[in-house]
Amino acid sequence: MRRRHTPTSPPRAAWRWRQGRESRRRSSPSRSRTVRQLPATRAGRRRPCPRSAPHMTRAHPVRRAGASNSPAQGAAAPAPGFWNGIMRSLVSLWFPDFPVERFIRSRIKMGRKPPAKGLPFALVETSKSGLRLIAVNATARSFGLMRGMRLADARAQLPELLTEPHEPEEDMNSLLGLCRWMERYSPWVAPDQPDGILLDVTGVPHLFGGEQRMMAEIRQRLAQYGFSVRIGQGATLGAAWALARYEAKDLQSLPVEALRIDGMAAKTLRRLGLKTVGALLAIPRASLARRFRGETIGENVLIRLDEMMGVRDEPLNPLNPPTSFMAHRALMEPVIHAEGLEIVLEGIVNQLCRDLEKAGKGALRLILKLFRVDGSRANLPAGFSVASHDPRHMLRVLKPKLETVDAGFGIDAMTLEARETAGAMVQQHGFLEDDSTLALEQLNDRVLNRHEQQFLALEDVESHIPERAEMPRPSARPLPPKATRPAPTARPLLIFEAPEPAKVVAAVPDGPPMRLTWRRVTRRVVKAQGPERVAPEWWRLTAGERPRDYYVIEDEQGRRYWLYREGLYGEPGEEQPKWYVHGLSA
């Protein structure tokens, strides 16, 4: 529970900040001043109660977020930062040496020797003016090297500097991997490129023993993986971001660069003598709005200031949007054996099913996430043919999947999410009725989830060519949403995998068949329907493809055939059209 602090600066700056809003409110004709009646004075008169002073925003002192690596907290205006009376808690993780530490970690994983500790090391990238330093380690910084220096200047200053090419794609992949790993602490995780992560941990710290223990665990685990991190915590994303990167006792003492504005705007503010956030708060809001009305959000100082102070809400776009129904368990000790994992699984399945039942929903698709101690994660998907919130059925489907998981050095967290839900139908059976239909559906779910790659279904494909109109897919995989439309004509019940050649006699070259010879048997045609023209697909036209004219014919014995003529008569340079039987109709 946070301690309440006394303000560290006079409230006049905050009063000036809201002066414009209060003046407009007082001058609005639609608003009337509220007057409270007080007890009568000795003269028998009543006097109105003076209007209360404007609302003042106070800046609270916070714990440091500098080199000590301790989590810092920033307080902001409470209105947009509260959800149903609960104050939002946002965390910013900043990895100051992320490219270098990621490179060293990748070398160790590949079994290659990383740069020796204590030696100056840097990552370089090619620019228009030659090679430049992108990231340097602590040893190189101690010699005065910094990001953006030309490699030639760095070599002249430090000849023993070791360098390697920068790999931005690998950095991005590693950052996304860390975001997925951080989902054990919160489902609201977003990358803050190029070297940070943002989390919304509102209502989460009590699961880990409080905020201090949670932040200490995050810092300790990241250190085990070779990453140094600085943590900032606040009621807004802007406050958390700033406190993770700048050392300050409160928000007002932060430098103007902490507002996430561009370099030109920061230089302009410093030339004007406005070096801190507190100095900006002392300026009337209207003056700032006239001076910094930029087109981009980085230039607009007013927007960034509002986001930091909580006047303007800033959304967090998570890497994987969390679902409405989710159950999570963080384990005190890593679990290796399947028996222990099954016990944890039973708990989160029961919790998820209770939530689904209360909402009248059932799960169609589940995903079980197993977080390993080494930072990797195993995802186990499961699907159901009918929406279900039956915990026994879910356990029968999910438990066999645990047998396929390699726990490694242990599983320390488990999450179960309902990725797709639907209304659950409650069926009431009579005294003599059985549950054979439900039992068959549940058996189908268990078989498909255990052998999903062996059971295939046909999925429609947008193509009029029969050979390409459908493709096999695993039965457990859900069908993608698409608009359905009726086929132009009915298709036969049986379509051959490969069309079979035939000989046809027609009255005229382009006319319907009158006699069919197929499989060495000649048949006289009594009825013919067609033709239906199917042209080649121009976007993937291959050599030899020609237009097709399909016919449905019927012989004297009532048997119906689906055949086509490939090619057109009279095409210059083309061979004569050929006939093929492609299917049989009822």
Separation of alpha carbons 240 and 236, rounded Å: 6
pLDDT of residue 222: 93
Closest CA to 467 of 491, 501, 489, 490: 491
Instruction: Quote the pLDDT of residue 136.
Output: 93
pLDDT of residue 263: 84
The torsion angles phi and psi of 420, rounded to 5 degrees, stand at -140, 130
Structural contact between residues 345 and 331, judged by C-beta atoms closer than 8 angstroms: no
- Indicate the pairing of strand 456-460 with strand 470-474: antiparallel
First vs last C-alpha separation in the chain: 76
User: Quick check: helix, strand or coil at residue 163?
Assistant: strand
What count of Cα atoms within 13 Å lies in the side-chain half-sphere of residue 354? 7
pLDDT of residue 33: 38
Phi and psi angles of residue 267, each rounded to the nearest 5 degrees, phi first:
-65, -40
Q: Is 565 helix (H, G, I), strand (E, B) or coil?
A: strand
Alpha-carbon distance of 586 to 360, in angstroms, equals 45
The continuous run of DSSP H or E covering 471 comes out as strand 470-474
Residues 517 and 503: their CA atoms lie apart, in Å, by 5
Q: What is the pLDDT of residue 53?
A: 39
DSSP state of 188: -
pLDDT of residue 468: 83
* E strand spans, 120-169: 121-127, 130-136, 162-165
- Measured CA to CA in angstroms, residue 184 lies from 15, 147, 371, 415 at distances of 42, 33, 7, 8
Beta 196-200 vs 560-566: how paired, if at all? unpaired
- Tell which CATH classification among 3.40.50.1360, 3.40.50.2300, 3.40.50.2020, 3.30.1490.100 matches the domain 326-426+436-448: 3.30.1490.100
Q: What is the pLDDT of residues 453-500, one digit of tens each?
A: 556 777 778 888 888 888 777 665 555 555 555 555 678 889 998 999
Give the DSSP H/E element, type plus range, for residue 445. helix 436-450
Query: For the whole model, what pTM was predicted?
Result: 0.57
* Domain covering 98-168 in this structure, CATH number: 3.40.1170.60
Instruction: Give the mean pLDDT per block of 10 residues along the chain (586 residues).
Output: 42 44 44 40 43 40 40 44 62 94 90 86 88 92 91 91 92 92 89 92 86 91 92 92 88 91 86 90 83 64 87 84 82 87 93 90 89 86 84 88 86 89 65 54 64 67 83 64 60 90 92 94 94 88 84 95 92 86 90
Q: For residue 560, what are the contacts with CB-CB under 8 A and spacing of at least 6?
A: 492, 552, 553, 554, 584, 585, 586
Give tens-digit pLDDT for 266-302. 888 898 888 999 999 998 888 877 777 665 555 678 8
Q: Which part of the chain is CATH 3.30.1490.100?
A: 326-426+436-448
Give the pLDDT score at 86.
59
What would the two tokens of residue 8 be? 């560290």
* Residue ranges of E strands in 201-305: 230-234
Helix 338-358 vs helix 391-402: crossing angle, to nearest 10: 150
**Can you give the pLDDT at residue 487?**
56
Q: Cα dist. 25→29, 35, 287 in Å?
A: 9, 16, 19
The pLDDT value given to residue 504? 95
The per-type count for the chain, helices as H runs and strands as E runs, is 15, 22
Q: Which residues belong to CATH 3.40.1170.60 in the chain?
A: 98-168
Residue 318: other Cβ atoms inside 10 A? 18
pLDDT of residue 227: 93
